[in-house]
């Protein structure tokens, strides 16, 4: 259960930063790397799961993942109750975290989301498979396909309630010669509850996967 608010903290406004995207989208490399480069920390469930497996002999990947998810949920709830800052990573594929973010926004919290997406669910699958060849853990295909649909729908639900939102297309592949990663492309920006990108002339260049999200933003803020 979240901690009870102290008299000093209950009047403060929570600030929640969400690094969101389906597995393989690159949310850690886009949002997480940016935060840490600027001296900020965030809760990464993959890191928490690895730490749990290192600390508890015989702990399965599945149980470690479940622990990490519950720990992230607990920290989010506590931050909202105590008016604290909290940054965390999520696929945004399920209903629980989405509902907590909606409730946080309704309670007056500042909710900022950075969402990374790819052109197709198959590209997510390929990137996760590549990560596995480099020692990363696998994600069942059925989970990735479910999260692909759910995360987009949940982001649309959250759009009217967020303070800031950045949506990036991270579909472009690394340069095979140099291995360098291209810059992700900004496809949607909401700043202080104002739609700042794209303008009407740029909407046509929105990647197909992101168009329902951009259209939802225009329907609310445009």
Domain-embedded: residue 4: no
Q: What integer pLDDT is reported at residue 136 of this predicted model?
A: 87
Q: Into how many domains does the chain fold?
A: 1
Phi-psi region of 168 (alpha: psi -120 to 50; beta: other; left: phi over 0): beta
25-53 average pLDDT score? 93
Domain-embedded: residue 76: no
Domain-embedded: residue 62: no
Domain-embedded: residue 112: yes
Q: Which domain holds residue 208?
A: 15-44+83-221
Domain-embedded: residue 77: no
Helices (H), the chain: 27, 33-37, 45-55, 61-82, 95-106, 121-133, 141-158, 211-221
CATH of the domain at 127: 3.40.50
- For 152-203, the pLDDT digits (tens) are 999 999 999 999 999 999 999 887 667 777 899 999 999 999 999 999 999 9
- For 101-128, the pLDDT digits (tens) are 999 999 999 999 999 999 999 999 999 9
Start-to-end CA distance of the chain, whole Å, equals: 39
Angstrom distance (rounded) from CA 131 to CA 190 = 31
Domain-embedded: residue 71: no
Mean pLDDT of the chain, nearest integer:
93
Q: How confident is the model at residue 218 (pLDDT cuts 50, 70, 90)?
A: very high
Q: Which residues 6+ apart lie within 8 Å of 95 measured at CB?
A: 150, 154
Angstrom distance (rounded) from CA 206 to CA 217 = 13
Domain-embedded: residue 55: no
Q: What integer pLDDT is reported at residue 175 of this predicted model?
A: 72
Q: Which residues 6+ apart lie within 8 Å of 143 measured at CB?
A: 23, 93
């Amino acid at each position: 259960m979240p901690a009870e608010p102290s008299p000093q903290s209950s009047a403060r406004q929570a600030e929640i930063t969400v690094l969101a995207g389906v597995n393989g989208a690159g949310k850690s490399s886009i949002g997480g790397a940016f935060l840490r480069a600027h001296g900020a920390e965030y809760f990464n469930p993959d890191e928490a799961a690895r730490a749990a497996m290192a600390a508890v002999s015989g702990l399965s990947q599945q149980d470690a993942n479940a622990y990490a998810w519950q720990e992230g949920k607990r920290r989010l709830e506590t931050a909202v109750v105590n008016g604290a800052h909290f940054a965390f990573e999520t696929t945004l594929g399920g209903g629980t975290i989405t509902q907590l973010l909606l409730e946080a926004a309704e309670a007056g919290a500042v909710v900022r989301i950075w969402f990374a997406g790819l052109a197709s669910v198959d590209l997510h699958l390929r990137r996760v498979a590549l990560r596995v060849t480099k020692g990363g853990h696998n994600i069942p295909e059925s989970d990735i396909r479910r999260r692909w649909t759910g995360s987009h729908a949940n982001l649309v639900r959250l759009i009217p309630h967020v303070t800031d939102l950045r949506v990036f297309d991270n579909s472009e592949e690394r340069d095979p010669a140099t291995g360098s990663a291209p810059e992700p492309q900004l496809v949607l920006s909401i700043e202080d509850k104002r739609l700042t990108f794209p303008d009407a002339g740029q909407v046509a260049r929105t990647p197909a996967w992101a168009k329902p999200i951009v259209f939802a933003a225009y329907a609310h803020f445009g």
